[in-house]
Structure 1
């Protein structure tokens, strides 16, 4: 019987250790056994070290988890869990041609509202908290601002499991237009004409908010800008996200201002849109308003446009341009945010922000008391992101009207235009 070569080689290899064992002496065999025992003991020691380390690591993890549990319990007991704190401060330098002022603006609570001393140069701190069931609380403070100490004090309560329908109330900032109030959200130093003069500031009351697919909507019933008239006002907004790069929205306010026993009704409507793609950013807004007894000689009515474009020159440096227009001819002119005052001749005019009828400089009286001036504003500027928490802003703004409405403090004469230069440092966390 023949065996193949592979089988023969395997049999020979298996037999060789046995043949070698017969050639070894007992002393040699004992040495091999002792060496093997030493290797086994060393291996056992290493296994025990690994087991001890694993036990120590497990105990350390347990201790850390216990510490985290204690910290979490303490946070719950102290009310710190779910608490967030945000802050913004923006020291601002403003030079205005007609007012002949060059100064820094920060926490200056002027009684009079105007476009070069409004919602900038502020210090803001915000406290927010969300409970485990999804209730959201917010308190935002703005010391010595034109809007008062409390900018927002609100609560929002979920009405369904996913929180897409919510009941909210308190003091709520206005939510119209494409611009925001605070400097870290607003690319230029000043605000557009529609933000300043064709929108409310805040609402005090209650309402509902909804998220339905790509739509977000909310409404509120309450007092508008602190007015306490015969009936509350109604404010609303809806937004549609068209894509990840663009969206549209519209809003409205219908209320009475509380003066003359709450008979001065006003209606504010606006439509806005936005688009961000690559280095380009665009914002646009159309507004309409009417205001009983809000003009120089009767009821005010106006409409306006605002558009903003921004381009990233570098990832940190953005160039900006904004153009505004307000048509304000009816009844001598006047808008919701203007401060019309008697200039001493029986003519009511806002000679700082530029609203009202055109003035004859020889008499100080209106050329035509029934016709208000139309307003324009062109702003150009730069916004530089110094780091994640700090940005620098610079703006040159040219305001113009089609009549003499800006009072020149040097000459005492009324002019058609005004130039503003502004800069700001914005800190936030």
Structure 2
């Protein structure tokens, strides 16, 4: 048998009612007492309703929304799922598209030339320090699959590495990266731009317009091959067996090079890296366009040279310190290639080895978050056997390479360059750059195209607008 159990609120109300009867029953009429009782019962009911209200749960599936809100929520959910399905079916999942353009103005004193450079063909003019990778329009596609495989295609008509070593290819990079076991161990293959030095090829990552002397004259252009990339904490290791500066080897060329790079991030603000290339690479010193087969003739023995590919050894070390408004970077490089010197042996006519070493350092300071100034100093020692650098195996009076034509042919010109620049970040996608550059050689090797005289110095002014997305 169950008995009614009054709630705490009901008990309090009854006690209050009893006290009221005890204190004032004699002075109140029956009607007044009845009215007061009804009001107390109504108050008790309201208090009990409030006490039970938090325990009430919304209807299943409504989450406190009105029917109209629930319908709108369901419509948005279905539409979102349909968009995701369409994205995945079209291959757009984890696809990133980016790009940039940088129309550039260049004034070159010794070349007696001033004007804009934009999308001009490198193959028509050759790679020079006043005509390198600036003045480009580039679009970059990067795709990553659910398995972690990365695919990349970068197109740079007339201005990418493909245009430099091929003469007409618009492909700057075409590479794949496949994880082996985990995402930190990867197989890499394809056409890969060179990774040596502290300066990057693309202007979006460079503070100046032109590149340093080591970048222009001592580093490879690109590799076509396969290898590995391993990330181990603060260390990153990369290495490939590849053709250097060639999408395929020519007949009689069978030996690839081994190219590698190691990077270490010491902390948040500093790090270092080194890179090298060892093996056989194209040697243009023995070529002669006047011969039917293109092979030069030894002027003493009258025998043809055999210099299609010769031994090459390159090594460079670079580092950086970036903190607050300051950026400091530096690099030292060494190189040697057999039978690639500008000047042959004066007695036997045999080709001799080219060797060089150089330094480059850069310092930049941000005066405001948008305005930055930069200074860079380069030095390149290249006097042995008349000079000779990677891909520059003859006297070059535009870039200032080789011996003085009226002087000692055994001594090549050492080169220096001082570059001063400023950049203004107009908005998140637009940067204006300006640059003054003074190049100097230890011998008069810069030609004045006006009168065909030679000078030890040359001056250049550049300006560009860089727009990226």
Which structure shows the higher strand fraction? 1
Which residues in structure 2 correspond to 1:13-52 (within 5 Å)? 13-16=16-19, 22-24=30-32
Once residues 377 and 384 of structure 1 are traced to their aligned partners in structure 2, the CA distance between those partners, rounded to angstroms, is: 23
Question: Equivalent of 2:175, from 140, 151, 154?
Answer: 154
Contact 2:342 2:393 in 1 (8 A): no
- Are 2:194 and 1:178 aligned? no
The residue correspondences of 1:283-362 to structure 2 (distance < 5 A) are 283-297=329-343, 298-338=352-392, 340=394, 349-360=395-406
User: Are 2:97 and 1:97 equivalent residues in the alignment?
Assistant: no
Structure 1 position 124 matched with structure 2 position 119: no
1:392 is the counterpart of 2:432: yes
Q: CA 1:77 to 1:30, structure 2 compared with 1: closer, same or farther past 3 Å?
A: same
- Distance change (3 Å), C-alpha of 1:385 and 1:378: same
Query: Which residue does the alignment assign to 1:4?
Result: none
Contact 1:86 1:125 survives alignment (8 Å): yes
Identify the match of residue 192 of structure 1 among 198, 201, 212.
212
Match of 2:236? 216
Residues 15 and 27 of structure 1: CA distance in aligned 2, closer, same or farther (over 3 Å): closer
Specify the SS of the correspondent of 1:180. Answer: coil
Q: Residue in 2 aligned with 1:142?
A: 156
Distance 2:370 2:215 in 1: 26
Matched, 1:269 2:311: no
In the TM superposition, what whole-angstrom CA distance separates every residue of 1:336-355 from its partner, at most 9, and x where no partner exists? 14363xxxxxxxx1011110
Scaled by the length of structure 2, the TM-score of the pair is 0.79
How far is the alpha carbon of 1:258 from its aligned partner?
3.6
Give the alignment's Cα RMSD to 1 decimal. Answer: 3.0
What is the CA-CA distance between 1:153 and the residue it aligns to?
Answer: 0.4
State the distance in 2 between where 1:184 and 1:67 align. 38
Q: 1:267 to 1:12 in 2, by over 3 A?
A: closer
Once the two structures are overlaid, the 10-residue window that deviates more, 57-66 or 188-197, is 57-66
* Shift of residue 213, structure 1, vs aligned partner: 1.8
When residues 278 and 14 of structure 1 are mapped into structure 2, their CA distance, relative to the original with a 3 A threshold, is same
Name the CA distance, whole Å, in 1 between partners of 2:336 and 2:39.
Answer: 109
Q: Distance in 2 between matches of 1:13 and 1:120?
A: 92
Q: Distance in 2 between matches of 1:92 and 1:18?
A: 100
What secondary structure is seen at the aligned counterpart in 2 of 1:331? helix
| TM-score (structure 1 length as normaliser) | 0.86
For 2:93 and 2:14, locate their aligned partners in 1 and report how far apart those are by CA, in whole Å. Answer: 75
Distance 2:259 2:308 in 1: 17
**Is this contact kept in 2: 1:203–1:224, CA < 8 A?**
yes
Matches of 1:232 and 1:55, distance apart in 2: 71
| Matching of residue 231 in structure 1 with residue 255 in structure 2 | yes
How many residue pairs match? The answer is 405
CA offset digits 1:349-396 (Å, max 9, x no partner): 101111000132xxxxxx111110100000011011111111111110
Q: Which runs of 5+ in 2 are unaligned?
A: 1-11, 50-54, 164-169, 284-305, 344-351
Contact kept, 8 Å, 1:108 with 1:146, in 2: the verdict is no
Q: CA deviation at 1:67?
A: 2.1
Deviation by residue 1:310-341 (Cα, 9 ceiling, x = unmatched): 0111111111100000000111111014363x
CA contact 1:323–1:376 (8 Å) conserved in 2: yes
Structure 1 residues 187, 116: closer, same or farther in 2, change over 3 A? same
Structure 2 match to 1:54 = 65
* Closer, same or farther: CA 187–142 of 1 in aligned 2, 3 Å: same
Superposed displacement of residue 257, structure 1: 2.7
Q: Secondary structure at the match of 1:184?
A: helix
Q: Answer whether contact 1:90 1:426 (CA < 8 A) is retained.
A: yes
Shift of 1:10: 11
Structure 1 residues 33 and 318: alpha-carbon distance in aligned structure 2, compared to 1, 3 A threshold = same
Q: Mean Cα displacement is larger for which, 252-261 or 129-138?
A: 252-261
1:403 corresponds to which of 433, 439, 443: 443
In structure 1, list runs of 5 or more residues that go unmatched. 1-8, 42-46, 341-348, 361-366
Partners of 2:435 and 2:365 in 1: how far apart? 15
Q: CA deviation at 1:16?
A: 4.6
